[in-house]
Structure 1
Amino acid sequence: MTQPQALAPHPVRPFTGRHMALVMTGFFGVVIAVNVLLANLAVSTFSGTVVENSYVASQGFNGLLRTARAERMLGWQLGIARAASGAVRFTLGDASGRPLRGAAVSARADHPLGAKAPVVMTPREVAPGVYEAALPAGRWHVAVEVRAQGHVWHAEDDAL
Structure 2
Amino acid sequence: MITESTNSKKFTGYHATAMIVAFFLVVVAVNMIMARFAVSTFSGTLVDNTYVASQSYNSWLEEARKQQAHGWTASRVTRLKGKVMLTVLQADDSTLQDAQITAIAEHPVGRTEPITLHFTQDRAGAYISRDVLPEGRWKLRITIMHRGNRMALAQEVL
User: TM-score by structure 1 length?
Assistant: 0.73
Q: Is contact 1:80–1:88 with CA below 8 Å preserved after alignment? A: no
Query: Any idea what SS the aligned residue of 1:98 has?
Result: coil
Question: Is 2:118 the counterpart of 1:118?
Answer: no
1:133-152 alignment runs, 5 A limit: 133=129, 134-152=132-150
Deviation by residue 1:52-94 (Cα, 9 ceiling, x = unmatched): 1111110110110000111011110111343553421121111
1:1-160 alignment runs, 5 A limit: 33-82=29-78, 84-133=80-129, 134-160=132-158
Change (3 A) 1:122 1:84: closer
Query: Any idea what SS the aligned residue of 1:123 has?
Result: strand
Query: Which consecutive unaligned segments of at least 5 residues does structure 1 have?
Result: 1-8, 11-21
| Structure showing greater Rg | 1
Task: Tell me the equivalent position of 1:3.
Answer: none
Query: Which consecutive unaligned segments of at least 5 residues does structure 2 have?
Result: 1-5, 8-17
Query: Any idea what SS the aligned residue of 1:70 has?
Result: helix
Superposed CA RMSD in Å reads 3.3
Deviation by residue 1:70-120 (Cα, 9 ceiling, x = unmatched): 101111011134355342112111111111111111012223333444321
Question: Number of aligned pairs?
Answer: 155
User: TM-score by structure 2 length?
Assistant: 0.74
> Sequence identity of aligned pairs in percent?
36
Deviation by residue 1:3-28 (Cα, 9 ceiling, x = unmatched): xxxxxx99xxxxxxxxxxx99x9888
Task: Tell me the equivalent position of 1:5.
Answer: none
Residue 40 of structure 1 deviates from its aligned partner by 1.7
